[in-house]
């Protein structure tokens, strides 16, 4: 049984960066639907007791191609949104501190460079998809983007995602319409750097 991440804040708590109706629809409908469909398909495929990361890393072990595609999309949707919603907060924003802040500066030269590079990946992802910050097996930080509900795990990179920006239109269209750049820029005001640092430290162990 895969359990949807529960928001520790109200749907209107991220206003004005992310509007109430978007949060209600995105978490309450889209993410809920990915989770429910994943549970149905995982049961059918007999993989319901696996960890989601193992499941996404080993999709080719599901022999039925319809189930494999369904689990790739809905399992990705489940995992990606759990990460997305757990690294945003009404108390977010500012710049990363501690071990993560140090590593970001070391890797990208400055926080501003990091911000520019991940924003560029979010903006150049054609159509629906995601921008990622991940930790490599040797403990380095790496940026990427991906289409649909694919992620660095299902794509077989061996990297562990610690942060993501959802650039599906359902994540921003009600408020920002066609202006994805405005959404991505504002998104930095709700990033939960402490949660991201916890993900970073966990990925290193
Ligand atoms: Mn989404």
Tokens found for residue 132: 């990622």
Return mean pLDDT, the chain: 98
* 124-149 tens-digit pLDDT: 999 999 999 999 999 999 999 999 99
Q: What is the pLDDT of residue 26?
A: 98
Measure 84 CA to ligand 1 centroid, in angstroms.
8
Percent share of the chain, pLDDT over 90: 100
Angle at 103 between CA 97 and CA 108, to 5 degrees: 110
- Taking the centre of ligand 1 as the mean of its atom positions, its distance from the CA of residue 109, in whole angstroms, is 30
State how far the alpha carbon of 147 is from the alpha carbons of 85, 89, 190, in Å.
Answer: 19, 25, 23
N- to C-terminal Cα separation, the chain:
26
Question: 87 near 194, Cβ under 8 Å?
Answer: no
pLDDT tens-digit profile of 15-69? 999 999 999 999 999 999 999 999 999 999 999 999 999 999 999 999 999 999 9
Domain boundaries defined on the chain: 20-86, 98-204
Q: How far is the CA of 31 from the centre of ligand 1 (A)?
A: 7
Helix (H) or strand (E) holding 125: none
pTM higher than the cut 0.85: yes
The DSSP secondary-structure symbol of 84 reads: H
Assign domain 20-86 to a CATH class.
mainly alpha
Tell whether domain 98-204 is in CATH 3.20.20.100: no
Percent of the chain with pLDDT over 70: 100
Residue 202: is it exposed, middle or buried by C-beta count within 10 angstroms (0-12/13-18/19+)? Answer: exposed
Q: Contact, 155 vs 134, CB < 8 A?
A: no
For residue 11, the CA-to-ligand 1 centroid distance in Å is 15
Q: Which residue has the tokens 């403990």?
A: 139
* Closest C-alpha to 56, from 125, 183, 142, 151: 151
User: How far is the centre of ligand 1, averaged over its atoms, from the C-alpha of 81 (Å)?
Assistant: 6
């Amino acid at each position: 049984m895969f359990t949807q991440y529960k928001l520790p804040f109200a749907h209107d708590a991220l206003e004005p960066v992310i509007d109430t109706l978007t949060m209600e629809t995105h978490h309450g409908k889209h993410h809920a639907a990915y989770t429910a469909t994943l549970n149905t398909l995982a049961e059918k495929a007999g993989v319901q007791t696996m960890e989601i990361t193992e499941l996404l890393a080993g999709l080719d072990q599901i022999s039925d191609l319809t189930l494999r595609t369904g689990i790739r999309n809905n399992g990705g949707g489940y995992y990606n949104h759990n990460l997305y919603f757990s690294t945003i907060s009404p108390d977010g924003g500012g710049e990363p501190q501690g071990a993560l802040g140090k590593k970001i500066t070391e890797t990208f030269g400055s926080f501003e460079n990091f911000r520019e590079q991940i924003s560029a990946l979010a903006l150049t992802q054609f159509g629906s998809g995601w921008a990622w910050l991940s930790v490599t097996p040797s403990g380095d930080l790496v940026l990427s983007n991906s289409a649909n509900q694919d992620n660095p795990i299902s794509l077989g990179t061996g990297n562990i995602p610690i942060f993501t920006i959802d650039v599906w239109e359902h994540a921003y269209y009600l408020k920002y319409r066609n202006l994805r750049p405005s959404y991505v820029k504002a998104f930095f005001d709700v990033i939960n750097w402490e949660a991201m640092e916890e993900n970073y430290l966990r990925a290193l162990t």
